[in-house]
A and B are shown apart, each in its own frame.
Chain A
Amino acid sequence: MEALLEPVSQFFGPAWPAVWTLAKIVAIIAPLMIGVAYLTLAERKVIGYMQVRIGPNRVGPKGLLQPIADGMKLLFKEIIVPSGASKGLFILGPILAIAPSLAAWSVVPFDDGLVLANVNAGLLLLLAITSMEVYGVIIAGWASNSKYPFLGSMRAAAQMVSYEVAMGFALICVLLISSSLNLSDIVHSQGQGRFHEMGLSFLSWNWLPLLPMFIVFLISGIAETNRAPFDVVEGESEVVAGHMVEYSGMAFALFFLAEYANMFLVSVMTAVLFMGGWLSPIGAIPDGFHWLALKTAFFLFVFLWVRATFPRFRYDHIMRLGWKVFIPITLVWVIVVAVWMMSPLSIWK
């Protein structure tokens, strides 16, 4: 590999690090975008089968070309900017919606050492980037200068800020027991302990000692991405489509891509933080990227499963769950974990 890259790096000279990083970014984003496209198809198929329908099956063999057809349709549509809109911000909204959900992938470790930016404060950086996701929705809602988008963006702001707190506390537990903010180190710290030595690695992952946090994180993740049953931001029945009402064509598609990219991100984060990332569940089987892919796919399926199963929450129920249920639970569990770590019963020595 090194010998192969040598002439190329000489060709670019001092610009080589930038070019090489750009190539890595493309290598992450391109599969992600294809994944996002096919997640929309998977969603329609899975929900279709859960509701005893077939789902899309006309475009291409078994409907496999459906996402491409959808993408083409949206690409060729006109982007209409309403005359009363704040034009600059109207364009900026979808960009700010998708940018953080792609930028966050820079710190995701795919395999041992296979990560774009192996930063020390990876977990914090991830939290900071995901906390900026709400701006796309808020700006879009305000810049549209219309009632429903505005209501949608108000809901988004309140909901995302509330669930971020619970999510942050859940992450504090994770970084307490792995004593590192580096995501690769967090994965490594899950591959040790008594169960790991017995060959049952999947019992040594964080989900077992942090079971309440794992559940809180997963549910907060669903709320954070504004997916059903927390999708009051789009709430078709009451605010039509929330912040996306005035958008058409590719600008509308960007919001969709951002939502699905966020689903990918939350799934991969749950896999990395609680399910041992690329580690294999049984000691005898080698680790590898395919394990991370498998775990991510499972959590993505959970997202779709939940959407097909639960009716939409009422808004005050969402706020109650965030503030009165999750935050007290996480607050107590942070203390429990801290005391547990300091006690002689600690399993994280």
Chain B
Amino acid sequence: MDFKTLVFYILSAIMVFAALRVITSRNPVHAALFLVLSFVTAGGIWLLLAAEFLAIVLVMVYVGAVMVLFLFVVMMLDINLDRLREGFWSYLPVGALIGILLVVEMALVLGGRYFGLEAMPEPPAAQAGYSNTRELGRLLYTDYVYPFELASLLLLVAMVVAVSLTLRKRKGLRQVNPSDQVTVKRGDRVELVSMPAEKE
């Protein structure tokens, strides 16, 4: 076993353990942090595949932004675990069915004849000076430019929808507008009045 394989097995073991702990840990914050751990190790595995751009973007987007906001919400919720576990046995059959279905689907894909080592030989080793990022960028903006633009448009629409769902103007709320505050000039607030001295 060479060093790369050893690293792969170590990372995979950590990832599987973290993924298991995501669904078994009793505390939702701990679960979210284990999800972070599994994202980081997934990034490590992608690095082993010489996909450095994807690996770094995974860490940057999911660990650096998505999970931070996720934790932000989870920490503020007061989650009652007993209430959550109440319906465990009644939901178990449905959950088990979906789980088995997923395993079967993955087995069919991975064991199929289009997915073996024969169908997909190992790609040739990258030559020196090969930049994963440059290749990916070239492909995204030439061959796959329409799907790429479509996906970005979809995300933009989702963002606009999310904003419009949460944006509401409440009436009768007294609040300050920071933009008005920082643009205030001295003349708006202070008035110098010249008046003659009063005599008794």
Contacts and interface: CB of A to CB of B under 8 A. Distances in A.
A181 B134 CA distance: 9
Nearest to A160: B68
Contacts of B42: none
Interface string B41-60: 00000000000110011011
Interface in A212-241: none
Contact of B52 (A121, A317, A324): A121
A124 B134 CA distance: 13
Contacts of B65: 131, 161, 164
Nearest to A125: B56
Interface in B74-130: 75-76
A139 interface: yes
Contact of A128 (B30, B56, B131, B132): B56
Interface SS of A by simple majority: helix
Interface in A106-152: 119-121, 124-125, 127-128, 131-132, 134-135, 138-139, 142, 150
Nearest to B57: A124
Contacts of A320: 178-179, 182
A282 interface: no
A142 B29 contact: yes
Contact of B131 (A89, A120, A135, A314): A120
A154 B56 contact: no
B155 to A, nearest CB: 14
Contacts of A154: 72, 75-76
A150 B132 contact: no
Nearest to A142: B75
B68 A134 contact: yes
B36 A124 contact: no
B15 interface: no
A158 interface: yes
A2 interface: no
A115 B76 CA distance: 42
A314 B175 CA distance: 14
B178 A316 contact: yes
Given A131-B65, A154-B75, A164-B65, A124 B132 contact: no
B158 interface: no
Interface string B156-200: 000000000000000000001011011000000000000000000
Contact of A324 (B53, B56, B179): B179
A89 B25 CA distance: 14
A121 B29 contact: no
B60 A138 contact: no
A142 B64 CA distance: 17
10 contacts: A89-B33, A121-B56, A127-B64, A132-B59, A132-B63, A135-B36, A138-B71, A139-B33, A154-B75, A316-B178
Interface of A: 86, 89, 119-121, 124-125, 127-128, 131-132, 134-135, 138-139, 142, 150, 153-154, 157-158, 160-161, 164, 181, 314, 316-317, 320, 324
Given A86-B30, A135-B68, 17 more contacts: A89-B33, A120-B133, A121-B131, A124-B56, A125-B52, A125-B56, A127-B60, A131-B60, A132-B59, A132-B64, A142-B29, A157-B69, A158-B72, A161-B65, A314-B178, A317-B181, A324-B179
Interface of B: 27, 29-30, 33, 36, 52-53, 56-57, 59-60, 63-65, 68-69, 71-72, 75-76, 131-133, 176, 178-179, 181-182
